[in-house]
Amino acid sequence: MRRDAGFSLVEVMVALFILSVISAAGTTILLRSVTGKEVLETATERINTYTRVHSRIRDDLLQWVPRRAESRATLDPKAEFLGGGIGDSTLLFAFVRDGWTNPGLAETRSGLISVRYSLSGNQLVRTVQTVADPLYNSEGVEEILFDDVAEAYAEFRQGPQWLNQWRGGDGGREGAPIAVRLHVELLNGEEFDWLFLTPSGGLT
């Protein structure tokens, strides 16, 4: 008499156990892959932000021009370069730069703009005035570069030393510092020092 072939209960249990182990391993790998991708995307986005902010500040400082102006009319002293809390404890630095595009001189205005960097609460703010001498009630166009700053301050290079304030022109130091160092500490504990050059060295 022929016996029907089949699986015993033990064999079925062993097969189910092996299948569950393989499934658990696959799920773990998948979850780690997703988490790793999210971490990579977050890091990439942060690096892109750092690069964008650094480039913005660098490009502004490289286009500094030696022109006396008030970054805030009637509030700040006139200077070719103002830095380090003079007139306003939130001020990092302010100056006039070239760079306004005016093809064919179509607009009856100068190509100069006023740029001001300040720390407002936890925000690193860039404020642009489309004229070198803004009106007293002109607020300018604000751009928030960072919104998670714990501390930020600037230092200015004169000869062999770094100064914590700078007022260029009008009986003060001439023009802009040769270099500006910006220290930023974020709320998450990250901190960095950026060093920027200005055209001042070639004009003095």
Summarised one tens digit per residue, pLDDT across range 20-55 is: 777 777 777 767 766 667 777 777 888 888 999 999
Per-residue pLDDT, 86: 74
CA distance 65 to 83: 15
> Which tokens in the block code for residue 15?
């097969």
Per-residue pLDDT, 182: 96
pTM across the whole model: 0.75
Per-residue pLDDT, 158: 87
Looking at the chain, the whole-number percentage of residues with pLDDT higher than 70 is: 81
> Which tokens in the block code for residue 142?
């604000």
Per-residue pLDDT, 159: 86
Q: Could you tell me which residues come within 8 angstroms of residue 21 by beta carbon, excluding any fewer than 6 positions away? A: none
> Which tokens in the block code for residue 198?
């200005």
Per-residue pLDDT, 40: 74
Q: What's phi and psi for 10, nearest 5 deg?
A: -65, -45
| Under-70 pLDDT residues of the chain | 1-7, 9, 30, 33-36, 74, 87, 100-110, 136-137, 170-173, 201-204
CB-CB contact of 62 with 197 (8 Å): yes
